[in-house]
Structure 1
């Protein structure tokens, strides 16, 4: 009897949990970074000076920025009647916003709504000032944020962290309320973050698009990948590649492949790598601490995308990981102008690419499959294989080359001497 009662209790408990689980499992867009990604470089995922959203709220080293959130709130709202309008708008969104997180938020209604209001207004006002500061609208001198370059740099980094997000619809709703003069569009705030064309920003913000990003990092990711996604959708020339990797930059160079920095242009994506006539064209990549943090968080974002979704940044990093297997490979790419190193030695570049490439999961339909196929086809030709072997084993240092050159010269001199000897013999006879 006791066993039947316990079983019934268990069934009731599970039955009560199922509706909540089903509702929540279909919508979460904001997660904690998966442990296998976080373990490669934990600091790349943690905020340095500001917490946005609930995951890092209350950490001691982030509390200093709370006063700037309040300052922006006062700067934007001013009187209490407007404040109530903003507050009620966020209250009406509370449950939808909670459902965006994959875990339970341990904040009551007032705490959660206050956090969304402060964080959303901070994002709007900071981006307003950031987009205007170099245009002369905001003066750097005396500005508590923009007067210090390192603060701006850290804030830009922290806004792009996967765990440091709030739902984008909250930010957009607050922006619409605050856009009194109606002279600014939301895309104008996002554009300076992306360093892409305004056309790409506008396309990523299409209101009726079912795949529209759910937070700021997702939005920036979508904008940065937009032009490459368009190229991929119009490309029908992808070769099938049975081999799922390519040789390192040093090996490819020995096989006669030349690396060339791809020319910049409005329609040229930073992801657009092509291979033509023994030349691998790669857009310039700046290697820095900020770049590592941004890439790792975009990879974390792609990690939680549906399985069939393209993972452009992960694919790109996998490509880099194949090219750079040691510091000599990093040196090859740097000498060709493909990599711009802001960290120091080539060994640092190699370390960054290894950390990025560890646990970077490719798309099911790999974005560079056609490029891989063409490169492996080139390297698989016998003549190119022989050239690579010659370079690796016989021309791997300058003394070998000099010795060969000297031998060729001696051989040529010997042949000339022999020809003259034969000619003089015939003249005598």
Structure 2
């Protein structure tokens, strides 16, 4: 890959009809100290090595994302675009928390080596927003002051939900009990519906129905969500962890492959893994040992759902469904018993009426 980065840098320079990288070096050298402060640990590289790393990585990201969208710009001998799985893996690598470089470096290089007048920074990073988390249909304005590519993708994915949440009464986790699994909630009379809301993480509970956006689960889901959650853990100054809260919610709903199957049949989960058991394992692993927000995004929904399930009538309904309506044969047996009971009551009623009539007739 290091050789590939050098090759991509040369292609960019050739396209710009520049014979030297000195202009980029001079500009990035001015940002070197600012870039170092973006890293949590000391960078064990001297000034020249660090500037070289920023230029090579930044130009590679720009050239790769450009070629990804413009097939006519791809070279025939470029191995990256000869194999589809390499492109997918590179898109995932760009979302790895440890692989990030400051976004202002990418933005600066992009403006210096702009490939064509029609390209802009919004269009450049659009492939990262069509990554199977929750595809963004209307490309929003990229926040150029974002930390890095992972942070920008996170902020765009969560922005619409953050606006919705700001208008709702926030809750906390004090005395909050987890909701039951999807199958148990269904037995308690709660249905599940696919949401048509444009917000990725907006979950509603309305008229005994849990309304949840569609979640595409594929081979890349675990990696993407783990890195988004890692980014949230390192965020300061924000009490909300939108992705972490969402994963915790889904982890509560999916306790078994049967829960995954139920949500899949309702259109809430799109399964690209092959089996409901694999979906269960992915959600189970994502939800282990995570810490939700102090102001949990779904605390009010948890309280409303638990209140519904705690009502005596709903508990009795759940018990009846679990014990007597959990299979066709049990259902048939119940109806048969009810039919026999009704017939017995009718027979007893007629016998009593006949006896009373005989008494009146003096028989």
Question: What residue number does 1:122 align with?
Answer: 60
CA 1:156–1:175: 2 relative to 1, 3 Å: same
Question: What residue number does 2:193 align with?
Answer: 260
CA contact (8 A) 2:9 2:56 kept: yes
Please state whether the residue corresponding to 1:243 is helix, strand or coil. Answer: coil
CA distance, structure 1, for counterparts of residue 172 and residue 47 of structure 2: 54
Q: Report matched runs for 1:29-428 at 5 Å.
A: 65-78=1-14, 81-133=19-71, 137-138=72-73, 143-179=78-114, 181-195=116-130, 197=136, 201-202=140-141, 204-205=142-143, 212-236=145-169, 242-263=175-196, 268-306=198-236, 308-419=238-349
CA 1:198–1:280: 2 relative to 1, 3 Å: closer
Greater shift in the superposed pair: 116-125 or 412-421: 412-421
Q: Offset of 1:197 from its aligned partner?
A: 4.7
Show CA shifts across 1:183-221 (max 9, x none). 32211112232135576631x51x5xxxx4211111111
Q: Offset of 1:116 from its aligned partner?
A: 1.0
CA 1:292–1:140: 2 relative to 1, 3 Å: farther
Show CA shifts across 1:302-338 (max 9, x none). 1111163411000001101111222222222222221
CA contact (8 A) 1:241 1:370 kept: no
Q: CA RMSD in A?
A: 2.5
Q: Offset of 1:347 from its aligned partner?
A: 2.2
Q: Offset of 1:411 from its aligned partner?
A: 1.9
Structure 2: gaps of 5 or more residues? none
CA contact (8 A) 2:95 2:149 kept: yes
Please state whether the residue corresponding to 1:214 is helix, strand or coil. Answer: coil
CA 1:275–1:393: 2 relative to 1, 3 Å: same
Please state whether the residue corresponding to 2:273 is helix, strand or coil. Answer: coil
CA contact (8 A) 1:241 1:369 kept: no
Q: TM-score, normalised by structure 2?
A: 0.88
CA contact (8 A) 2:191 2:209 kept: yes
CA contact (8 A) 1:247 1:322 kept: yes
Question: What residue number does 1:6 align with?
Answer: none
Q: TM-score, normalised by structure 1?
A: 0.76
CA distance, structure 2, for counterparts of residue 239 and residue 383 of structure 1: 28
Q: Offset of 1:387 from its aligned partner?
A: 1.0
CA distance, structure 1, for counterparts of residue 306 and residue 232 of structure 2: 27
Question: What residue number does 1:53 align with?
Answer: none
Greater shift in the superposed pair: 290-299 or 397-406: 397-406
CA 1:200–1:368: 2 relative to 1, 3 Å: farther
Show CA shifts across 1:127-182 (max 9, x none). 1122334xxx4569765323321111111111110111111111000000012654
CA distance, structure 2, for counterparts of residue 244 and residue 425 of structure 1: 59
Question: What residue number does 1:34 align with?
Answer: none
CA distance, structure 2, for counterparts of residue 221 and residue 173 of structure 1: 21
CA contact (8 A) 1:200 1:223 kept: no
Q: Offset of 1:66 from its aligned partner?
A: 2.3
Question: What residue number does 1:23 align with?
Answer: none
CA distance, structure 1, for counterparts of residue 35 and residue 170 of structure 2: 42
Structure 1: gaps of 5 or more residues? 1-64
